[in-house]
Amino acid sequence: MAGLVRALGKPEHCALHEPEFAGNEWNYVKACIDTGWVSSVGSYVDEFERRLAEYTGARHAVAVVNGTAALQVALRLAGVGGGDEVIVPALSFVATANAVAHCGAIPHFADSSPETLGLDPAALEEYLGHIAEHTHGGCRNRFTGRRLSAVVPMHTFGHAVEMAGLLEVAGRFNLPVVEDAAESLGTRYRGKHTGTFGPMGVMSFNGNKIVTTGGGGAILTDDAELARHAKHLTTTAKRPHRWEFFHDEIAYNYRLPNINAALGCAQLERLPDILARKRALAQRYGESFAATVGLSFVREPEECQSNYWLNAVQLESPDMLLRDTLLEAANDAGYQCRPAWTLLNKLPMYQGSPCAPLPIAEALEASLINLPSSAKLAGKAP
């Protein structure tokens, strides 16, 4: 509590993460309403995709309705099929596993790194060495007989996974990497933006993300054919024609509406300022909790420039009871703090899924506390 008070003072209510609209949001949304272009076709969709690709360094961006839809389509394009297993972190938001399940595949849970909070390349390599075998049909789980068809690193709270090591491990086992970069817009690893390391990466622009389109997501790729196919699949697989309705694949109505993209364009214009204030808030938290016994502030890992989407502190000794006691006290005082997610392998629908040993993920679950992280807490936008 003392660290929160030193960093934020004593507000009546301090939300975990709030959107901020201080630029051209109203003007762009009003333009959609005035012109009638509010649905999944319009100039703002194209502009949002162009700006997002330019900012991240990806050659192509395909805007969709949310991050879960983006990941589902990216996994399908990566070759994930029914009955496959996909390696995902046990410590992640449920959407990571749900997107796998939406493909008819099975999430296979792996452990985290204490430094990055994301997938641990060394632990994954050791585990795959035990359970994986190379066959003519690809890499398979020797215990279930199912194909291992992809690995999905998720950049937890905006902190980048150690991608160099992960890509090496994935390459040795012939697993395509589809990055869940939903939380990491603005984060760079070794100078390269998250979501651009594998064949595809996905972003989220939900209302609680660093910038928002209300609800939205995107697929990033450098591959022109993957981008074309992603756009086709997310637009009901309709072949272009002046009047005919002809669809050549089972597909999805997942394209981002123009009115949401308009909001996103205005938000992206302000992203550098938002990132600067997020880092200022993280620095303030680091200083405020420096003298707190038994707690440490979670800092960006080596070789990562984090967006600090959600700030967090960590108990030096994992203790679920103490964690919940601190959460109750903080929330009672008006600070909306939360724990990390319940490990995905513990959720009822995934309890039968294959799972690696999870000593680090279990310790993180019992020790992480997210702090109020809105950019406005560092000061008002100019």
Task: Read off φ and ψ for residue 299, nearest 5 degrees.
Answer: -100, 160
C-beta separation of 116 from 161 below 8 A = yes
Taking only the tens place, the pLDDT of each residue in 14-71 is 999 999 999 999 999 999 999 998 887 889 999 999 999 999 999 999 999 999 999 9
Which residue, 251, 269, 287, sits at the end of a domain?
269
Regarding whether 209 and 297 lie in a shared domain, the answer is: no
Rounded to whole angstroms, how far apart are CA atoms 148 and 105? 10
User: Of the candidates 254, 269, 284, which is a domain's last residue?
Assistant: 269
When the pLDDT of each residue in the chain is averaged and rounded to a whole number, the result is: 95
CA distance 175 to 138: 9
One domain, residues 206 and 294: no
CB atoms within 10 A of CB 346: 15
Token pair for 118: 């994301």
Q: What distance lies between CA 72 and its chain's CA centroid?
A: 13
Q: What is the pLDDT of residue 303?
A: 96
pLDDT of amino acid 320? 97
Considering only CA atoms, which of 197, 115, 201, 212 is closest in space to residue 156?
A: 115
Q: Give the DSSP per-residue string, 54-104.
A: HHHT-SEEEEES-HHHHHHHHHHHTT--TT-EEEEESSS-HHHHHHHHHTT
Nearest by Cα to 117 from 152, 87, 159 = 159
Residue 310, classed as helix, strand or coil, is coil
Do 9 and 56 fall within a single domain? Answer: no
Spatial distance between the Cα atoms of 276 and 284, rounded to a whole number of angstroms: 13
Rounded CA-CA distance 83/104 in Å is 6
Q: Where are the beta strands (DSSP E) in 67-216?
A: 85-89, 106-110, 132-135, 138-141, 148-151, 178-180, 188-189, 192-193, 200-204
Maximal CA-CA distance, the chain: 68
Tokens of 21: 């609209």
Structural domains in the chain (count): 2
Same structural domain for residues 119 and 12? Answer: no
Same-domain status, 232 and 351: no
Pairing of strands 304-305, 188-189: antiparallel
- CATH code assigned at 332: 3.90.1150.10
**Same domain? 174 vs 67:** yes
The label of the residue with tokens 């002046």 reads 242
| Tens of pLDDT, residue by residue, the chain (382 residues) | 677 888 788 777 899 999 999 999 999 999 999 999 888 788 999 999 999 999 999 999 999 999 999 999 999 999 999 999 999 999 999 999 999 999 999 999 999 999 999 999 999 999 999 999 999 888 999 999 999 999 999 999 999 999 999 999 999 999 999 999 999 999 999 999 999 999 999 999 999 999 999 999 999 999 999 999 999 999 999 998 888 999 999 999 999 999 999 999 999 999 999 999 999 999 999 999 998 999 999 999 999 999 999 999 999 999 999 999 999 999 999 999 999 999 999 999 999 999 999 999 999 999 999 999 999 998 754 4
Domain ranges, residue 301: 2-21+271-378
What single DSSP character describes residue 150?
A: E
Same domain for 216 and 96?
A: yes
User: Whole-angstrom Cα distance, residue 294 to residue 318?
Assistant: 10
Residue pLDDT, tens place only, 251-291 = 999 999 999 999 999 999 999 999 999 999 999 999 999 98
> Residue 123 is part of a domain; what is its CATH number?
3.40.640.10
Q: For 45, how many CA atoms within 13 A lie in the half-sphere containing its CB?
A: 21
Whether 238 and 134 share a structural domain: yes
- Residue that is written with structure tokens 């050791």 in the block: 126
Q: Tell whether 146 and 180 lie within a shared domain.
A: yes
Out of 204, 237, 269, a domain closes at 269
Which residue is associated with the tokens 């398979």? 140
Q: Which amino acid is at 114?
A: P
116: nearest Cα among 314, 287, 277? 314
Please state the pTM of the whole predicted model: 0.95
Query: What would the pLDDT profile of 55-79 be if each residue is shown by its tens digit?
Result: 999 999 999 999 999 999 999 999 9
CB-based burial, 138-155: b 16+ in 10 Å, e otherwise: ebbbeeeeebbbbbbbbb
What are the structure tokens assigned to 158, written together? 């905006």
